[in-house]
Amino acid sequence: MAERFHFVSSTSELHLMKMEFLELKYRLLSLLVLAESKLKSWIIKYGRRESVELLLQTYISFIENSKFFEQYEVTYQILKQTAEMYVKADGSVEEAENVMRFMNETTAQWRNLSVEVRSVRSMLEEVIANWDRYGSTVASLQAWLEDAEKMLNQSEHAKKDFFRNLPHWIQQHTAMNDAGNFLIETCDEVVSRDLKQQLLLLNGRWRELFMEVKQYARADEMDRMKKEYADCVTTLSDFATEAQRKLSEPLEVSFINMKLFIQDLEDIEQRIPVMDAQFKIITKTAHLITNESSKEEATEMFATMAGLKEQLTKVKERYSPLLSESQQLSVPLEELEKQMTLFYDSLGKISEIITVLEHEAQSSALFQQKHQELAACQESCTKTLAQIEKGSQSVQKTVTLSAVLGHFDLTKLQRQTADVHVAFQNMVKTTGDWKKHVETNSRLMKKFEESRAELEKVLQMAREGLQEKGDPEDLLPKHTEFYSQLDQRVLNAFLKACDELTDILPEREQRGLQDAVRALHKQWKDLQAEAPYHLLHLKIDVEKKKFLACVEECRTELDRETKLLPQEGSEEIIKEHRIFFSDKGPHHLCEKRLQLIEELCLKLPVRDPVRDTPDACHATLRELRAAIQSTAEQLKDNPDKWQDYASRISEFSSWITAKETHLKGIKSEAIDSANHGAVTQAVQEIRTGVTQKGETLSWLKSRLKVLTEVSSEKEAQKQGDELAKLSSSFKALVTLLSEVEKMLSNFGDCVQYKEIVKSSLEELISGSEEVQEQAEKILDTENLFEAQQLLLHHQQKTKRISAKKRDVQQQITQAAQGEGALPGQVQEELRKLESTLDGLERSREKQERRIQVTLRKWERFETNKETVVRYLFQTGSSHERFLSFSSLESLSSELEQTKEFSKRTEGIAVQAENLVKEAAEIPLGPKNKQLLQQQAKSIKDQVKKLEDTLEEEYVLDKS
C-alpha cells in the first residue's frame, strides 16, 4: 500500500498537468472544428440579398460579437504555456515530439483557416454592394428605357435634346452588366438563372434602342470635346503667359520679395504637372476633333498646340533652377534681415539709454544700471554689423555668379548696408563721449551703493530681530548667532564710501547724503547697546519656560496619580510616584533651572523688571514640594492595595476547609462499582484544584513581598503570620488527597478488568451472530465454486473467533482473581455472557457441518451432471453418422453400434433420473434449488429424446 500510495502521490501532479493539457487541446480542436464548419456554411453559392445579409449578420455575431479570434488566441496561448510546462515536467522525448507536432500542425491549420474566415466578411459585403448597385441601375434603366422608347416617335429636335445625356446611361448600362455578371458567378443556380433572364431582356431592349439613337451621343460628344479643347487652350495659355512674366520681370533683392517670389515659383511647380496632364488631354481631344474637321481647322489647331507646348517647355526649363537657387538665397537673406533688425533695435536702446543718462546723470544706481545696458548694446551692435557685412557680401556674390538670377536688382540691398555703416559710426561717436564720464563715476557710485545697501540690510535685520515675537527657545540660537556676527567693518566701509562720493557730488546732493549717513550711524550705535540685554532677556525667558514646564509636568503627574488612584490602586501609583520623583526627576531639574535664572538676572540693570523673576519661581517651587509630599502620604495610607490579597487568602482558606471535609467523607465511606466513577471524578477535580491553588499560594507569597515594600511593618507582619498558617493547612490537604487517590486506584484496577472482559464477551457474541447470518447466504450463491469459497472464508472467520474466545477466557480468569470485593451480581453477569457465547458456538458448529454436507451433495450432483452432459454431447456427434451406409455389411455394423449405444443410454437415463431426485433433496436456497431442478429436468428430457431416437432407429434397422 505504501508503494502504491507513493507511486500515486509522485505521479499525480504530472497526471493533472497532462489532463489540463488534454483538456485545453480538445478545447482548441473544438474551436477549429467549429470554425471549419462555420466556414463551410459561409463559402457557398449565395441567394438573394436578404439571405446574404442574414449570413453577414451570422458572421458578425459569431466572429466579432463573441470575439472568436480573441477567444481562440487566449486558448492557444494558455495551451502553449501548459504544453511547455507539461513537456518540461514529463521529460519524455517522444511525448515532447508529439506535443510539438500537434502545436505546429494546429498553428499551420489555424493560419490558413483564419485567412479564409477573415475574407468571408469582405466577400459578403461585396455581394451585398453588387446587389444594391444592380437593383438601383436596373430600376433606373428600366424607367429610362420606357421613356426613351416613347421618344423614338418624336421630332428630331426633341430626340436630340432627350438623348443628350446618353453617355450617362451607357455608364449605367455598363455598371448594371458588371454587377449582374458578378452576381451570376457568385449566386446559386436558381438566382443566377433569374438574373441571366432579366439581363438578356434588358440588354435586348437596350441594343435595339441604342442602334437607333447612338448618333445623338456622338454629336453631343463632339460639342463637348470642342468646348473642353477651347477651355484647356485658354487655361494653358494664361498659365504660360503669367509664368513667363513672373520668371522674367526684375526683382529687388530683399527677404520679403524673395519669399513672395519663391511662393510664386512653388505655385508654378505645383501647377506644372496639372498643366502637363491637361496638355495631354487636349492633345488627344484635338486628334479626335481633327478627324472630323476640315484641313484648315486641323492645321490651326496643331499650330496652337505646338505654340503651347513650346511655352510650357520654356517655363519648365526655367522655373526649376530658378526655384532651387532662390531657395538657397533666401536663407542668407533671412539671416541678413534678422541681423539688420537686431542692429537697429540695439541702436534704439542706445539712444534711449543716453537720453536717460542726460536727464538723471547724478543718480548713481540708475547711472550704473544704464551704463551696463549701454555697454551690452554696443557689443551687440558690433557683432551684428560684422554679421551684416558678411551676409551682404555672400548674397551679392551668389547673385553675381548665378546664371539664372540675372534679373535680380542688388541696389536696395547695397543701400541698406551703407545705411547700417553710417548708423554704426554715429553710434560710436555718441557713446564715446560718455565713456570718460562712466569710467570716472561708476567705481565710486557702485562702491557707495553696495556699502549702503549692506548696512541698511544689516540694520533692518537687527531691528526685526529685536521686535520679533515667538518661542524664546527658537529665537535665542538664531538671534545669538546673528548679533554675534555684527561687524564694525560694515559701518566703516559705508562711511569711507560716503566720503569718497561726497568729493564728486554737488553741494546740494552732499547735504542729503550726510543726513542719511548720520541717521544710519545712530541706528548702528543704538543697536550695539540694546542687543546684549535682548539676548539676556531671551536666555531668562528660555530658562523660565523650561522651569515652568518641569513644574507643570510634576503637577500633571500628581493630578494623574490622584485621578488614577480609584482605578489602578495605590500600589501601582506609589511605584510610579517613586520613579517619577526620584533624585533625577523633574522637580530636581526645577531647582537647577531656578539657580541659573538667578545668575542671569544678576547681569541685568537694577531697574529692569525681569530681575524679579526668581522670587515668583521660588514660591512656585515651594508649592510643588508641598504637593508632592502630601500626595506620597495619601498613597501610602490607602488600604486598597490589600483588598485583592485579603480576598484571595480568604477564598483559599475556605476552599481548603471544604475539600478537607470532602476527602475525609470519601475515605470513611464504602466504595462500590455504582459510585466509583463519581468519586473518582470528584477526587480528580480536587487534584486539579490543588494544582491551581498551589499556584495561588505561590502568588500570595510573592505578593506579600511586594506589598511589604509599600506598607507598614505591622501590617506586613500580621499578613505574614496568616499566610504561614494557611500554608500548613494546604500541605495537610495534599497528604490526605494522596491517601484517597491510592485507595481509588486499587479499586479501579478490579473494575477495569471487569469492563474489559464484559466488552470482549459482547464483541464475541456480536461477531458470532454476524458469522451465522453470513453463513446462511452461502447456500444462496449462484454456483458451487463461489459457495465453496464463501465456506472457506467462513471457516477462517470461525477460527479467528475461537482464538479470540480463548483470550477472553483468560481475561475472565484474571477478573475473577482480581475482583475481590466485587458484588456477586457482576460475577453472575459474566457467567451469563459466557453461557450465551458457548450456545452460539455450538449452534455455529452445527450450522457449519450442515453446510458442508449440503455442498458435498451439490458437488456430487455437479459431477453426475457433467458425466451425463458429456455423454449427450459425444452421442450427438457420433449419431450423425448412424444413417450413412452403402451396403448390407455397413448396415449391420451400424446396427451393432446402435445396439451398444442403446444399452449405454439406458444406464445414462438412470443417472438422469437420479439427478432429478438429488436436485429435489439438496437443501439449497429457493432460487438455487429451482435452478438445479430445472437443469436436472432438462437433462432428463434430452436423455429421453435420445432413447426414443435410438429405439426408432433400432426398430427400423430390424425391419
- Assign residue 672 the CATH number of its domain: 1.20.58.60
The tens digit of pLDDT for each residue in 877-887 reads 555 444 454 55
**Predicted pLDDT of residue 480:** 63
How far is the C-alpha of 910 from the C-alpha of 153, rounded, in Å? 123
**Predicted pLDDT of residue 693:** 72
Please state, as a whole number, how many other Cβ atoms lie within 10 Å of the Cβ of residue 636.
14
Q: Is residue 595 part of a domain?
A: no
Contact 680, 748 (CB under 8 A): yes
Q: Which residues contact 315 (CB under 8 A, 6 or more apart)?
A: 239, 240, 243, 244, 247, 268, 272
**Which parts of the chain have pLDDT scores under 50?**
360-362, 818-823, 880-883, 885, 955-959
Grid coordinates belonging to 958: 430390424
Q: Is residue 727 part of a domain?
A: yes
Give CA torsion, residues 504, 507, 511, 514, to 10 deg: 20
Greatest extent of the chain over all pairs of C-alpha atoms, in Å? 190
Q: By C-alpha distance, which of 298, 389, 289 is closest to 343?
A: 389
> What Cα–Cα distance (Å) separates residue 193 from each residue in 183, 199, 516, 943?
11, 10, 117, 81
The number of domains in the chain is: 6
Contact 822, 754 (CB under 8 A): yes
Residue 72 sits in the same domain as residue 169: yes
Residue 264 sits in the same domain as residue 130: no
Sign of CA dihedral 362, 368, 374, 375: positive
Grid coordinates belonging to 565: 488612584
Residue 423 sits in the same domain as residue 481: no
Residue 427 sits in the same domain as residue 440: yes
User: Which domain-ending residue is among 191, 214, 237?
Assistant: 214
Q: By C-alpha distance, which of 217, 136, 119 is closest to 176?
A: 136
Residue 354 sits in the same domain as residue 322: no
Q: Is residue 798 part of a domain?
A: no
**Predicted pLDDT of residue 378:** 78
Residue 64 sits in the same domain as residue 156: yes
Please state, as a whole number, how many other Cβ atoms lie within 10 Å of the Cβ of residue 363.
15
SS3 137: helix
Residue 355 sits in the same domain as residue 434: yes
How far is the C-alpha of 374 from the C-alpha of 367, rounded, in Å? 10
Q: Is residue 295 part of a domain?
A: yes
Q: Is residue 88 part of a domain?
A: yes
Q: By C-alpha distance, which of 175, 151, 176, 146 is closest to 163?
A: 151
Give CA torsion, residues 581, 586, 592, 596, to 10 deg: -160
Q: Is residue 959 part of a domain?
A: no
Its domain, for residue 455, covers 447-545
**Predicted pLDDT of residue 657:** 85
Q: Can you give the CATH number for the domain in which 505 is found? A: 1.20.58
Q: Which amino acid is at 450?
A: E
How many CA within 13 A on the CB side of residue 406? 4
Q: Which residues contact 580 (CB under 8 A, 6 or more apart)?
A: 554, 557, 586
How far is the C-alpha of 853 from the C-alpha of 844, rounded, in Å? 14
Q: Is residue 884 part of a domain?
A: no
Triad 629, 631, 636: Cα angle to 5°: 100
Residue 468 sits in the same domain as residue 372: no
Residue 292 sits in the same domain as residue 392: no
**Predicted pLDDT of residue 10:** 56
User: Which domain-ending residue is among 545, 573, 599?
Assistant: 545
pTM for this predicted structure: 0.31
How far is the C-alpha of 105 from the C-alpha of 872, rounded, in Å? 64
Q: Is residue 849 part of a domain?
A: no
Q: Which residues contact 703 (CB under 8 A, 6 or more apart)?
A: 645
How far is the C-alpha of 867 from the C-alpha of 729, rounded, in Å? 97
Residue 159 sits in the same domain as residue 59: yes
Q: Which amino acid is at 308?
A: L
How long a stretch of residues is the chain? 959
Residue 435 sits in the same domain as residue 460: no
Residue 40 sits in the same domain as residue 152: yes
The tens digit of pLDDT for each residue in 333-367 reads 788 788 888 888 888 887 777 776 655 444 556 66
How far is the C-alpha of 925 from the C-alpha of 937, rounded, in Å? 18
